[in-house]
Copies of this chain bind each other. A is one copy, B any other.
Amino acid sequence: MAAMSAPDSIDLARLRRSCAKCSLQQLCLPAGVSARELEQLERIVQRNRHVGRGERLFWPGAPLTGVFVAREGAFKTTVLDESGEEQVLGFHLPGEVIGLDAMGTGVHRCEAVALGEAQVCEIPFDQLTTVAAQLPSLQQQLMRVIGQGVDRDQDHLGVLVRRQANERVALFLHGLGERLRTVGLSSSRFRLPMSREDIARYLGLALETVSRGFTRLQDDGVIEVTGRQVEVLDPERLTRMAHGAEEERNARRGRA
């Protein structure tokens, strides 16, 4: 597919583990960037750094050094509100960019924590902008990635404004499944990387309410849950519930 070009000296071993060979390539920053340009990008990427469970990539007040891409494992980004409660802003799966929250001020306002053992690639931000300024397609891709982040935030908003707790839970599971699929994992059988508490803090609900939501979905035969292991039995119904077709679950009262 991509023609190989051999400009200067290329370390073959390194290339093998490179962005060009990365299974996430089409989801990650390099998507749509030509092979020639990709090489420039590769020079500044620090690949596959290991991150232990609970380890932080950055924290509030830390200066923006670089953007991270989850390579393996999952992350959450959180802020502490003034009463000291943790609020979960988002979850980040492989291929998703983390750290752009500092673009506005140059300083991070949230913290990013690994939910389990994970690996990330890091791209120094100043170098990224420098390189991007010279490579239109990378520039454009950078914009796209930023835009996707905004889209995700807005989806999150959409979930929070939706009042019914069970709808939020259904929407969360559905959305997670969709995202897992794009990473090449099963969307119908997976292990949640985050705790009920994390989910609750993401959905703006009490932990117990999330748990009850899961139980309810199970009782209705839509999913099967054992702790963090989830199996989606009726994907269609889950989709419908996530998209607001509530009357299907039980015709309790009509809605406009």
* Chain A interface (Cβ < 8 Å from any Cβ of B): 79, 81-83, 87, 89, 100-105, 109-110, 129, 133, 136, 139-140, 143-144, 146-151, 153-154, 156-158, 160-163, 201, 204, 243-245, 255
Report yes or no: B147 in contact with A87, Cβ–Cβ below 8 A: no
What distance in Å separates the Cβ of A76 from its nearest Cβ neighbour in chain B?
14
Residues of B within 8 A of A81 (CB): 158, 161-162, 244
Bound form: Cα–Cα A94–B233 in Å = 50
What distance in Å separates the Cβ of A64 from its nearest Cβ neighbour in chain B?
9
Report yes or no: A151 in contact with B104, Cβ–Cβ below 8 A: yes
Residues of B within 8 A of A89 (CB): 154, 157
Q: A109-B154, A162-B81, A244-B81 are in contact. Are A146 and B103 (CB under 8 A)?
A: yes
Report yes or no: B255 in contact with A154, Cβ–Cβ below 8 A: no
What distance in Å separates the Cβ of A191 from its nearest Cβ neighbour in chain B?
25
Bound form: Cα–Cα A66–B209 in Å = 43
Q: A161-B160, A161-B204 are in contact. Are A103 and B133 (CB under 8 A)?
A: no
The closest CB in chain B to the CB of A88 belongs to: B161
What distance in Å separates the Cβ of A92 from its nearest Cβ neighbour in chain B?
15
Bound form: Cα–Cα A129–B142 in Å = 12
Q: A103-B150, A140-B129, A255-B83 are in contact. Are A160 and B160 (CB under 8 A)?
A: yes
The closest CB in chain B to the CB of A105 belongs to: B147
